[in-house]
Chains A and B, each alone.
Chain A
Amino acid sequence: MSEMILLGDEAIARGAIDAGISAAFAYPGTPSTEIYQTIADYAKAHELPVRGMWSTNEKVALEEGVGVSYAGRRAVVSMKHVGLNVAADPFMNAAVSGAHGGLVLVVADDPSMHSSQNEQDSRYFADFAMVPCLEPANQQECYDFMREAFDLSEQFQVPVLVRLVTRLAHSRSLVKMHKRREPNEARFVADPTRFILLPVNARRAFANLVDKQKTLQTYAESHPVNALMLRESNRPGILVSGLAWNYLQEALGEKLADYNVLRVGCYPLPVQKIRLLMDASSEIWVIEEGYPFIERYISALGLMRELPIRGKLTGDLPRTGELSQDDIKTCFGVPILPSLAIPGLNSVLVGRPPSLCDKCPHTDSYEAINEVIAEFEPGARVMGDIGCYTLGAVSPLQGIHSCLCMGASIGMAIGVVHAGMQRSLCVIGDGTFSHSGLVPMLDAARDNTNIKVFILDNSIIAMTGGQPTAASDEQVVDLVAGLGVPREHIRIVVPSPHKKEDTKATIREELAYVGLSVIIARRACVTYAKEIKDIKETREQMRQIKVVAA
């Protein structure tokens, strides 16, 4: 047994490796990025037979994981919470088809939206798909639950979802680790119809999934993490899950012994234990990180009159944002400690939001676009997308006027044209374009929609720390051309102060043209210059190996 100080994400990664995975797939997204990064780095450093990649997007990542599972081996797939929206289709259906080799999906939620556009709670997805969900509360559980998740997946032949939240993914503590289990052998199932979700098979598979719920329920009831601590009857009870358990212990300290407590970390919900807690308690407090998932269930949306049930729905705890021990103290009437008062503090303390780096190519792109728009149609809107360049929304650039989800900029721009607006522009990075910009671009090309798509190609996924993009440079040009955009309206500009006038001239020409234009603003990210060089060298080596092999 070895021990190490690990981030929650790193503990998940090491847990997956030691559980005997054969492959890992992911798309980067805060706070999940370090999971795959750690797996790839560790496997390379120790020459382990673990394959996988940064996939093109989360849907593809999960489909790759499903393929590994169908072939009998273990795979881990990791993403941030909104990534599961992209992967929802394979996720819901893999639950029906079931797994063969262990298939574990790790999803990192972001309560308080530290680096996200919403704070959706992935426990709903597990519930929706009827698959088990494990919710670790500390780094050791992150490690231990991964082994268990794979065992669970293979025992019940279902995918398993492991839910993290930012404060666990990005928090460190000591983790004790075991010896690595060897990966299992690749072997197909005897009857492939199990994995052919034609209605005739899907009906059978779905009935099978429904049947599994009873045994999954029994599993959750007896899971040690779902620990019921009954004191005496008619005491107030607390139902607490995930990371909220950490905050609760500190907020109440020894006073916790005055309450009946049920901790939940394994789903489906252990309904018998909840029943016992409710029978023994005068009222129930539900404390959970994320949405009021458990509270809604057990209070029937507040319709249940049997017992007072308090939590986020009743306003006793904040409905939005992440929890803290102070929120729980307030809820239970425990005084908040006084802190150092510094006179005049507010007059000298200002916010320091993230911003584009010094000499960032995106700044030059936005300046050129803004200046040309000012000539043509002041007030024209630019549909935005997700990446570092979303920071172009803030002053002084204020270069985008929407940001919805990955790849949405092109579709939204098409919509603006259909609404009858005169100009429609959008910006999308090379990473986001390969993630989910190709398909909407096909719509625009098919129709020659009068939109101006700026692909801000900086050769890297920079926002999450420098992961490779699926396509950059000439590959982007070829992809755009392949989708049906005429070569003469695929323009390449260099976003730099030196080339600004050239860039503006190109933008003017394309704005004057009625039809689909793609303007590729190509200059490598200044922050990840070294990573870009390494990625390009690796790609070139791979290409040469292929040439030799051919």
Chain B
Amino acid sequence: MKYDLVVCGVGGQGVLTMAGVIDHAIHAAGLFLKQSEVHGMAQRGGAVSAFVRISDQAVASDLIAQGSASMVLSVEPMEALRYSQQLHPEGWIVTDITPMVNVANYPALDALYQVLFSVPRLVALDASRLAARAGSVKVQNIVVLGAAAMHLPFEAKLIEQQLERLFHRKGERIVKANINAFRMGDAASRFAAALVAAGVAARVVACVVTRIAFTPEPVGEKLVAAWCKRLLRPDALALAERLFASEDDVAPDAVPAD
């Protein structure tokens, strides 16, 4: 078994914290790992990445070969596109859609989302908004981490254990915010995967998933089925784009009427 993962974002967004949590979960799962990361100059608001390599055998290379990553996990939507060369043609992109605009030529958001939402296996979510609901805007990266969990080759509870270990000194409230954030991301990811599996178009999935106010509980099966049914109708794209453009929170049980 081999699983390569790119974790990325912008300096200061907690990318290396995410990678560290994943590393320890891999070890707890009894698997081998190697993880290289970018330090130094890039931390001054530049692009930051970590290459996480997971295997049931010792890992040799510190780098990920072209076309072999199973996932790009990003805290920022433009950064999510930067490592597509590493990504397998059937790999997933899991990303927050909140832009970090610290360069003058940052692309127009409409154009950026147009390109990003065309990615066939995509979990795009509004992690910043979910983080605020989880109890702290600082846990944005943990929401994104939660959205990766179902695709990783080890149990999600190993990551939760690492979050508890990492944050227990900061008190119960912080631990809870992190666990909630993680589970919200996981709920979003499971929901998105179900829609993709049901054949809902990538752009529709992205527009809807970014607007749903997920709770730490997974969305129930019946609700998922209702959403799938609704989003397979001919007007799904128009509906999805309307939801996306409104920027309002959509409750998971508020399946729009026909």
| Segment 214-250 of A: residues with Cβ below 8 Å from B | 243, 245-247, 249-250
Given contact pairs A340-B88, A340-B89, A243 touches B62 in the complex (Cβ within 8 A): yes
* Interchain nearest-CB distance for A496 vs B (Å): 20
Q: Please encode chain B, from 117 to 141, with 1 for each CB lying within 8 Å of some chain A CB and 0 for all others.
A: 0110000000000000000000000
Stretch binding the partner chain, chosen from B40-48, B177-185, B217-225 = B40-48
A5 touches B23 (CB 8 A): yes
Q: Which residues of B contact A250 (CB under 8 A)?
A: 60-61, 65
Q: Which residues of B contact A171 (CB under 8 A)?
A: 34-37, 62
Given contact pairs A172-B34, A325-B65, A340-B87, A349 touches B44 in the complex (Cβ within 8 A): no
B35 touches A173 (CB 8 A): yes
Partner of A463, one of B41, B81, B88, B102: B41
Question: Is A170 part of the binding interface, using a Cβ–Cβ cutoff of 8 Å?
Answer: yes
- Distance between Cα atoms of A354 and B102 in the complex (Å): 10
Given contact pairs A5-B33, A325-B61, A354-B11, A349 touches B81 in the complex (Cβ within 8 A): yes
Question: Is A300 part of the binding interface, using a Cβ–Cβ cutoff of 8 Å?
Answer: no
- Distance between Cα atoms of A354 and B82 in the complex (Å): 15
Partner of B46, one of A167, A170, A174, A355: A355
Interface size of B in residues (CB-CB distance below 8 Å):
55
Q: Please encode chain A, from 158 to 177, with 1 for each CB lying within 8 Å of some chain B CB and 0 for all others.
A: 00000000011011111000
Given contact pairs A5-B27, A348-B81, A170 touches B39 in the complex (Cβ within 8 A): yes
Question: Is A475 part of the binding interface, using a Cβ–Cβ cutoff of 8 Å?
Answer: no
- Distance between Cα atoms of A345 and B107 in the complex (Å): 11
- Distance between Cα atoms of A138 and B33 in the complex (Å): 12
Question: Is B1 part of the binding interface, using a Cβ–Cβ cutoff of 8 Å?
Answer: no
| Segment 323-342 of A: residues with Cβ below 8 Å from B | 324-326, 329, 336-342
A114 touches B41 (CB 8 A): yes
Main secondary structure of the interface of A (DSSP, over half): loop
* Interchain nearest-CB distance for B115 vs A (Å): 4
Q: Please encode chain B, from 60 to 86, with 1 for each CB lying within 8 Å of some chain A CB and 0 for all others.
A: 111101111000000000110110111
Q: Which residues of B contact A167 (CB under 8 A)?
A: 36, 62-63
* Interchain nearest-CB distance for B58 vs A (Å): 9
B40 touches A350 (CB 8 A): no
Question: Is B91 part of the binding interface, using a Cβ–Cβ cutoff of 8 Å?
Answer: yes
* Interchain nearest-CB distance for B96 vs A (Å): 15
A30 touches B40 (CB 8 A): yes
* Interchain nearest-CB distance for A390 vs B (Å): 9
Q: Which residues of A contact B85 (CB under 8 A)?
A: 339
Question: Is B246 part of the binding interface, using a Cβ–Cβ cutoff of 8 Å?
Answer: no
Q: Which residues of B contact A33 (CB under 8 A)?
A: 39
| Segment 298-348 of A: residues with Cβ below 8 Å from B | 324-326, 329, 336-345, 347-348
Q: Which residues of B contact A464 (CB under 8 A)?
A: 40
Partner of B103, one of A339, A345, A351: A351
Q: Please encode chain B, from 9 to 36, with 1 for each CB lying within 8 Å of some chain A CB and 0 for all others.
A: 0110000000000011001000011111
- Distance between Cα atoms of A353 and B40 in the complex (Å): 12
- Distance between Cα atoms of A388 and B11 in the complex (Å): 14
Question: Is A357 part of the binding interface, using a Cβ–Cβ cutoff of 8 Å?
Answer: yes
- Distance between Cα atoms of A523 and B46 in the complex (Å): 24
A337 touches B63 (CB 8 A): no
Given contact pairs A171-B36, A173-B34, A174-B27, A354 touches B62 in the complex (Cβ within 8 A): no
Question: Is A46 part of the binding interface, using a Cβ–Cβ cutoff of 8 Å?
Answer: no
Given contact pairs A170-B39, A464-B40, A348 touches B61 in the complex (Cβ within 8 A): no
Partner of B44, one of A245, A326, A391: A391
A354 touches B45 (CB 8 A): yes
Nearest residue (CB) in B for A168 is: B62
Question: Is A352 part of the binding interface, using a Cβ–Cβ cutoff of 8 Å?
Answer: yes
B44 touches A356 (CB 8 A): yes
Q: Please encode chain A, from 343 to 387, with 1 for each CB lying within 8 Å of some chain B CB and 0 for all others.
A: 111011111111111000000000000000000000000000000
* Interchain nearest-CB distance for B46 vs A (Å): 4
A348 touches B111 (CB 8 A): yes
A115 touches B32 (CB 8 A): no
Question: Is B112 part of the binding interface, using a Cβ–Cβ cutoff of 8 Å?
Answer: yes
* Interchain nearest-CB distance for B90 vs A (Å): 8
A352 touches B103 (CB 8 A): yes
* Interchain nearest-CB distance for A305 vs B (Å): 34
Q: Which residues of B contact A170 (CB under 8 A)?
A: 36-39
Given contact pairs A326-B65, A337-B65, A350 touches B41 in the complex (Cβ within 8 A): no
B41 touches A115 (CB 8 A): yes
Partner of A354, one of B42, B67, B78, B111: B42
Partner of A355, one of B32, B67, B78, B102: B102
Q: Please encode chain B, from 158 to 189, with 1 for each CB lying within 8 Å of some chain A CB and 0 for all others.
A: 00000000000000000000000000000000
Q: Which residues of B contact A343 (CB under 8 A)?
A: 115, 118
* Interchain nearest-CB distance for A118 vs B (Å): 15
A345 touches B81 (CB 8 A): yes
Nearest residue (CB) in A for B76 is: A352
Knowing that A31-B39, A326-B66 touch, tell me 7 more A-B residue pairs with CB under 8 angstroms.
A170-B36, A324-B65, A348-B107, A349-B81, A352-B78, A354-B44, A356-B44
Query: What are 15 A-to-B residue pairs whose CB atoms are below 8 Å?
Result: A5-B23, A5-B33, A171-B35, A172-B23, A172-B34, A172-B37, A173-B35, A337-B65, A339-B84, A341-B89, A350-B106, A352-B45, A355-B46, A355-B102, A356-B44
Listed from nearest, the 10 A-B pairs whose CB atoms lie closest are: A337-B67, A30-B40, A115-B40, A354-B46, A171-B36, A354-B44, A339-B67, A348-B107, A171-B62, A249-B60
